[in-house]
Structure 1
C-alpha cells in the first residue's frame, strides 16, 4: 500500500468531519412508517460508473432503499478510504480490491459478516471459487463478499505459433521457453514473449508453480531454490533475447503486428484486442498457463464489504446479496466487462460458448490470491526493484534474492 492506515489514524482528529458529507445518511422520512434509507456505496474505477444502472434495478425491487453511488478513481480511492477510517464517517458499502482487504480489515474498518452468512443464501461459500472466498477471510472474520474476479492466462497468436511448429499453446515451462526462442528467431525486431516487468504478481505466481510457499509462518522464502529458480526462469527470456526489456509500444499493437506473439495478462485484454485489432480475430486465442509442478495463476478482483460504522447494516447486506445473485452478475458483465465471482454465473452460455472466457473459467480453478497480509504490496514493490537489477543490470539472481528476502523480513517484522 502507498500508505499505512495506522499512520493516518494517529492524526484522526484532523480527519474527523472531512467526509461528513459522505457518511451514512437517512432521508427525513426515515424512522416513520414507510420511510426510506439511503445507502452510500463507494466503488472504484471506470466500471463503477455503470453501477448506478444496477442500483436503479435494486431500488425498483426495494423502494424503501435508495442507493447513492460514488465512483472513485483508483489513484485517489486509497487515500479517501484512509480518511474515512480515521473519521469513522464513510460509505455503507464499499468496493475493495482484494489486495486492499488485509490493510483495512486490520484497521477494523470492515464489518465481520460471519454471523450473517446463514441468513443470505447468496453468501454461501459454495457459490464462489475457493480463491475468491479466501480473499474475504481475515483470521476468523469474514470481511466481504466476492463481487468480481480476474486471473491471468496466456494470450498467443495461433498462426505464428503454428509457423514455428506449435499447433497449440505451450503446456509446460519448457515448451513456453522453446516456443519463445523460435518465435524470436524470426528476426526483424520480433520477440517471443512479452513479460510485463511492472506486474507485481508475476514472479510470485511462477514461484508457486515451482512449489514455493512464498511466506511460511511470517517467514519469507524468497531466497529459497523454488523462488530463485522461478526468477531465473523469467530472467532467461530477457537474457536469450526472446523477451524485450523495453517493448516500446502498447501490447495490443505489438500483438497485432506479431512483434510480441505471446503475453500473460487478465481477461480485460479480450475486449481490448477485439476492439483494437479486429483484423486478427481468428488468429489469436487464450490458454491456461503453462505448467511446472502446477499451473497456478494469481486471482484478483474486488469484494464488497460493509463499513464498520454504518448505521444501515441490514440494508447494506441486502444490497450486497442482490449484487451476488448470478443474474445480477451477468448483467454486470454486460455493463462493465468484469467477470462474475459466482460459479453459477459461469454456466451461462455467454461465457461457456466463448472459447476465451471458457479458458478463464478453467484457469480460475487453479488460481490463488497473493498472500493476504497487510505488507504484501510493499514486499511486491520491493521485488520489482530487485528484478530490475537482475534483468537490466545482470545482477546475480541468488545474491539479489538474498537481499530481497532480508528486506522482506524487515517489512514483515514491522
Structure 2
C-alpha cells in the first residue's frame, strides 16, 4: 500500500512518541467478526515501527459483558491493560479512569475526525479517547432474490420490508424450511437498544431521553414501532431472533438463509469472503422508515483510551495515535469494512472500491442517531438496560408497545431521581 509523505511523517512522530526503551503494552480488543484478527495485525505493525511489544487482551463479544469486565479492572486500578477499546457510549461513564489526550495528541490529528465523535469522546473538556472506527446500522439484502421475486429496489419503509420479506420467505421455504425473511439483533443486550432506537426514531417516536434530559419514550409512535417489530417475530423473523446478537444474525444471512438483515458495516467484508454462500449477491441500503417518518441508524463505533493506571502511558498514547491514524483506518476499512472516522478517507479510491456503499451511505454514517449517553451521563447503562428489557418483553409478547413505554417511563423516572 502506497504511503504518503504525510503518513510517513505521522508514523515517525508516533515512533518518536514512544518510550526510548522498549516496553510491553496490553491492548484490549473485541472479537466480533474480524475485529481480533485486524487488531492483532495492527499491533504487529506498531511493534515493527516502534520496537515495543503489544499483548492482546481478548474482550467478550457482547458489549454489556465487556463493560462489566472493564469496570472491574478499572475499579481495582489495575495496570494490567494499558489501552482499552471503548464503545462510543462509555466515555461519560468511565472518563475518570482515562488519560486526557488533549495536548498529548496533535490537534490536527484530532480535528481530522468526525466532530460528532470527538464530541462524544470529550467529557467535561477532557478528551477521553480517540475514534478508531464508527458504525451505523444498515440494511443488507439479497440482490439475487430481489430480482427473482420481481423487486428492483430495497424497501423504503418497514411495511414494504414486511411485504417483500414475506413474499421471498414464502417462496424460498418451499425448498428450504430454515429460510427467514428478516434477521436482526433481538437479544436483550445493548445491541437490542441500538436496533429498537432505530425503529422508534424512524417512526417519529424520538429518542429514549432527549438532549435536555427529558424522558420522551412514552408516546404512541414509539409504542407503534415496538408493536411493528413484535409482529415480525414468528412472521418474517424466526422466533429465535429474540436470542440473536450480531454474529448469529450474520451467520444466518451469510449462509444463504435470510433475505434481509439489519447489522453493522463490518458484515459486508465477511459476506464477500470466500466461505460466504452469498458472495456477490449482497446489497446495502439505509434502514427503512416508519409511517410518515424518516430512516434512522443508531450511532455505534469504538474508541481507544489510555488507562490512567498504565505504567507506560507515553508508549500507550503512541499506540493509540498509531492505530487511530489514517493508514491503519484505511487498512481496517479495506480488509474488514470498518468505517473510518477520518473525513478524508471517504474519498479514498481504494476504500470505495472495497466498500462501494461507503460513498452512497455517507449521510447515514454522519447523521446517525446517538444513544442518550450524553444527557443520562453515568446512568446510561441503567437506562439502556431498562429500555432493552422493555423491548424484549414486547418482542416476546409479554406486553404490548403501549404498556411497555408506559412502564418504561415509570422505570426511567425512578432511575433519574432528581437528576441524571
The two structures share one fold, judged by TM-score above 0.5: yes
User: Which position in structure 2 is the counterpart of 1:272?
Assistant: 270
User: Which position in structure 2 is the counterpart of 1:300?
Assistant: 300
- Corresponding position: 1:386 with 2:406: no
User: Which position in structure 2 is the counterpart of 1:69?
Assistant: 55
Aligned pair partner of 2:236 in 238, 242, 253? 242
Q: Secondary structure at the match of 1:222?
A: coil
Distance 1:271 1:96 in 2: 22
User: Which position in structure 2 is the counterpart of 1:210?
Assistant: 203
Q: Is the alpha carbon distance of 1:245 and 1:288 closer, same or farther for their aligned partners in structure 2, counting shifts above 3 Å?
A: same
- Corresponding position: 1:194 with 2:194: no
Distance 2:227 2:59 in 1: 36
> Which aligned pairs between 1:45-194 and structure 2 lie closer than 5 A?
45-46=30-31, 47-48=35-36, 50-51=38-39, 53-62=41-50, 66-74=52-60, 78-90=67-79, 91-105=81-95, 108-116=96-104, 119-124=106-111, 127-186=112-171, 188=174, 189=177, 191-194=180-183
Q: Secondary structure at the match of 1:214?
A: coil
Q: Deviations over 1:114-134 (max 9, x none)?
A: 3445x342111xx22344334
Is the Cα–Cα contact under 8 Å of residues 183 and 242 in structure 1 kept in the other structure? no
How far 1:374 sits from its partner (Å)?
3.1
How far 1:155 sits from its partner (Å)?
0.8
Is the Cα–Cα contact under 8 Å of residues 198 and 298 in structure 2 kept in the other structure? yes
Is the Cα–Cα contact under 8 Å of residues 151 and 360 in structure 1 kept in the other structure? no
Distance 1:399 1:234 in 2: 15
Q: Deviations over 1:96-128 (max 9, x none)?
A: 2223333211xx1012333445x342111xx22
Structure 2: which 5+ runs fail to align?
A: 1-18
Is the Cα–Cα contact under 8 Å of residues 85 and 304 in structure 2 kept in the other structure? yes
How far 1:173 sits from its partner (Å)?
3.2
Q: Secondary structure at the match of 2:238?
A: coil
Q: Deviations over 1:226-270 (max 9, x none)?
A: 32232123223337x233222699545643676521110112322
Q: Is the alpha carbon distance of 1:242 and 1:80 closer, same or farther for their aligned partners in structure 2, counting shifts above 3 Å?
A: closer
Distance 1:396 1:332 in 2: 42
Distance 1:269 1:82 in 2: 28
Q: Is the alpha carbon distance of 1:276 and 1:225 closer, same or farther for their aligned partners in structure 2, counting shifts above 3 Å?
A: farther
**Structure 1 range deviating more: 280-289 or 242-251:** 242-251
Distance 2:69 2:255 in 1: 41
Distance 1:331 1:159 in 2: 30
How far 1:61 sits from its partner (Å)?
4.4
Is the Cα–Cα contact under 8 Å of residues 131 and 304 in structure 2 kept in the other structure? yes
How far 1:143 sits from its partner (Å)?
1.0
Residues matched between the structures, number? 373
CA RMSD after TM alignment: 3.2
**Structure 1 range deviating more: 193-202 or 380-389:** 380-389
Q: Is the alpha carbon distance of 1:77 and 1:40 closer, same or farther for their aligned partners in structure 2, counting shifts above 3 Å?
A: farther
**Structure 1 range deviating more: 271-280 or 196-205:** 271-280
Q: Deviations over 1:178-200 (max 9, x none)?
A: 32343344364554322331232
Q: Is the alpha carbon distance of 1:273 and 1:169 closer, same or farther for their aligned partners in structure 2, counting shifts above 3 Å?
A: same
Q: Is the alpha carbon distance of 1:276 and 1:203 closer, same or farther for their aligned partners in structure 2, counting shifts above 3 Å?
A: farther
Structure 1: which 5+ runs fail to align?
A: 1-33
- Give the alignment's TM-score, normalised by structure 2: 0.76
Q: Secondary structure at the match of 2:28?
A: strand
Q: Is the alpha carbon distance of 1:171 and 1:41 closer, same or farther for their aligned partners in structure 2, counting shifts above 3 Å?
A: same
Distance 2:159 2:139 in 1: 15
Is the Cα–Cα contact under 8 Å of residues 158 and 168 in structure 1 kept in the other structure? no
